[in-house]
Amino acid sequence: MEQVAVIARARALFGASPRPLAFVPTMGALHAGHLELVRQVRPRAATVGASIFVNPLQFGANEDLVRYPRDLERDSLKLAAEGVDVLFAPDAAEMYAPGFSTSVDPGPLATVFEGAVRPGHFRGVATVIVKLLNVVQPDTLVLGQKDAQQAVILRKVLRELDAGVNLEVVPTVREPDGLAMSSRNAYLDTAQRTAAPSLHRALSAVLEVLERGAGKLDALAAGAKQLDASAKLEYLDVVDAEDFAPLERLRRPAFVIGAARFGTTRLIDNLWVR
Amino acid sequence: MEQVAVIARARALFGASPRPLAFVPTMGALHAGHLELVRQVRPRAATVGASIFVNPLQFGANEDLVRYPRDLERDSLKLAAEGVDVLFAPDAAEMYAPGFSTSVDPGPLATVFEGAVRPGHFRGVATVIVKLLNVVQPDTLVLGQKDAQQAVILRKVLRELDAGVNLEVVPTVREPDGLAMSSRNAYLDTAQRTAAPSLHRALSAVLEVLERGAGKLDALAAGAKQLDASAKLEYLDVVDAEDFAPLERLRRPAFVIGAARFGTTRLIDNLWVR
């Protein structure tokens, strides 16, 4: 695996790589969910590229940018073991020169759910992804379903900007007790870790009630009951999988989505109903 | 010359074109200034692409989108005569599907001078240029100096988004009496056409006084005196050519910039001081 930190060098390296080229952007702190993204596309891609970049633009002022887990050496070994060909791992100064002011704004979809709780988050995500795609120029962009709203927003942004890239969304990988894999799970203490799978149970309960034909209010009430008493629910809803518009009854494809705090740690999760 | 209206077809055609590829985006209503853009790059490009698209996103609600001059057939003949290889001329529905919501925001530079008078204008320009570059994927983007602020903003946006494209800015072409070529000159009646070159005289007077070592206030006063009494001055200033920051004294490279209304027609002009 080649590892590069400089944009010009990455552009040259990816430009000379065999096609098709699949690209897996990450913020590092890699877990089995990230590695599953690589595994899904490795057999069909002549080149698999990945990036590790903890993107300051997508963190709010009171969020966990500084304490976000970073271990480039270990992450790099994991990606190499999965057969990644090129790893692009720039620092923030390489990506954002002094005076940087351009942003890619996805519009209204970026202001609901995760976007309502984290203002500016999806603008930061869209901006860095447009930059990364310009450097890497992949045929396929690989994203995880765990960040469902991110995937829906990026599909719209990339289609609307005519980015000419395929988007592949890979199902969420879970711990045996149902907890969705997330780099932020590392923040949980023992009690919080025990409580955390209740978010997945809440989503499952919502879906079960909806599948029986009930309306949303009943379903959300059943879901909320599953969440551990120590957790603080931020949102719980069922939305259209294409545009994240809230649904009153189940209509496929949909996402059942939820976010909750366990102590100071925010976790999100969703079920993809196809 | 091949002419295409569909994004997918344009992408395929440009993708199969010999390199280097130079690209000249226009809104049509072509005059000698546009053709000069083609002439400047034709000898050095294996492929010259052009676009004609009157971009609704860059017009304000009270601006001249509807009456903006359109004559695709005549424009197409002019570009073919200059040796353009591929003309991309989509309609608004092809560029902006229902529900379109993504935008590229250049930041603070888009809110001064032209951006102050035309809120959202440069956001619309940056959005359409990012789309066009994604479709055409040129080596060189060719812009006119007449829209100096646009060129400065796009240079920043394309550098910050790592677009990997060279920007070439071609000097303004003028009528014999000094009036900068502009599609909007067609709106002028006889009296306004007679008054319009006074904008260029105003800029020249500003520069002359600055070159004598005077401060900005004296220079702007001398410039304002040159403007025809029938015109309404919107702004007149001298700015750094890199970042459009207003200057108190001449320091090269700079632009002397101005905008004025002749009847209902807004004209802009500048002098590039190198």
Q: What is the CATH number of the domain that holds A70?
A: 3.40.50.620
What is the average pLDDT across B134-162?
A: 98
Q: How many domains does chain B have?
A: 2
Does residue B178 sit within a domain?
no
Smallest CA–CA distance, residue A65 to chain B, in Å, is 22
Does residue A178 sit within a domain?
no
Tens-digit pLDDT profile for residues A58-68? 999 999 999 99
Confidence of residue B169 (pLDDT cuts 50, 70, 90): very high
Paired residues of A246 in beta bridges: A239
Per cent of chain B over pLDDT 70 is: 100
Does residue B175 sit within a domain?
no
- For residues B77 and B73, what is the distance between their CA atoms, to the nearest angstrom? 6
Quick check: B156 and A107 CB within 8 A? no
B104, B107, B164: residue with CB nearest A134:
B164
DSSP assignment of chain A equals -EEE--HHHHHHHHHTSPSSEEEEEE-S---HHHHHHHHHHGGG-SEEEEEE---GGGS-TTSSTTTS---HHHHHHHHHHTT--EEE---HHHHS-TT---EEE--GGGGSTHHHHSTTHHHHHHHHHHHHHHHH--SEEEEETTSHHHHHHHHHHHHHTT---EEEEEPPPB-TTSPBP-GGGGG--HHHHHHTHHHHHHHHHHHHHHHTT--HHHHHHHHHHHS-TTSEEEEEEEEETTT--B-SS--SSEEEEEEEEETTEEEEEEEEE-
Residue B86, token pair as written in the block: 């591929």
B126, B131, B162: residue with CB nearest A162:
B131
Indicate whether B153 and B257 sit together in one domain: no
Confidence at residue A169, expressed as pLDDT on a 0 to 100 scale = 97
Confidence at residue B114, expressed as pLDDT on a 0 to 100 scale = 98
Nearest residue in B to A104, CA atom = B104
Confidence at residue A140, expressed as pLDDT on a 0 to 100 scale = 98
Quick check: A102 and B131 CB within 8 A? no
User: Which residues, at least 6 apart from B159, have a Cβ–Cβ distance to it below 8 Å?
Assistant: none
- Residues 175-204, chain B: which have Cβ within 8 Å of A? none
- Do the strands A103-105 and B103-105 form a parallel or antiparallel pair, or are they unpaired? antiparallel
Does residue A57 sit within a domain?
yes
Q: Provide the CA B165 distance to its chain's centre, in angstroms.
A: 18
Does residue A177 sit within a domain?
no
Long-range contacts of A193-196 (CB under 8 A, 24+ apart): A195/A228, A195/A230, A195/A231, A195/A262, A196/A228, A196/A231, A196/A262, A196/A267
- For residues B193 and B201, what is the distance between their CA atoms, to the nearest angstrom? 14
Tens-digit pLDDT profile for residues A100-123? 999 999 999 999 999 999 999 999
Residue B188, token pair as written in the block: 């002028």
Confidence at residue A54, expressed as pLDDT on a 0 to 100 scale = 98
Indicate whether A138 and A253 sit together in one domain: no
Quick check: B101 and A156 CB within 8 A? yes
Catalytic residue numbers of A read: 34
B106, B127, B162: residue with CB nearest A131:
B162
Indicate whether B110 and B220 sit together in one domain: no
Confidence at residue A208, expressed as pLDDT on a 0 to 100 scale = 98
B101, B157, B164: residue with CB nearest A108:
B101
Domain boundary, last residue among A143, A170, A197: A170
What is the average pLDDT across B38-64?
A: 97
Confidence of residue A13 (pLDDT cuts 50, 70, 90): very high
Tens-digit pLDDT profile for residues B99-126? 999 999 999 999 999 999 999 999 999 9
Confidence at residue A197, expressed as pLDDT on a 0 to 100 scale = 98
Quick check: B102 and A156 CB within 8 A? yes
Tens-digit pLDDT profile for residues A211-266? 999 999 999 999 999 999 999 999 999 999 999 999 999 999 999 999 999 999 99
pTM, 2 dp: 0.97
Residue B246 is given by DSSP the state B
Q: Provide the CA B213 distance to its chain's centre, in angstroms.
A: 30
Interchain contact B102–A (C-beta under 8 A)? yes
Mean pLDDT of chain B: 97
Q: Provide the CA A200 distance to its chain's centre, in angstroms.
A: 16
Domain boundary, last residue among B117, B145, B170: B170
Interchain contact A134–B (C-beta under 8 A)? yes
Order of all β-strands in the sheet with A232-240: A232-240, A254-262, A265-273
Confidence of residue A73 (pLDDT cuts 50, 70, 90): very high
Radius of gyration in angstroms for the set of CA atoms belonging to chain A, rounded to a whole number: 19
- Residues 223-252, chain B: which have Cβ within 8 Å of A? none
**ipTM for the predicted complex:** 0.97
* Domain hosting residue B106, numbered range: 2-170
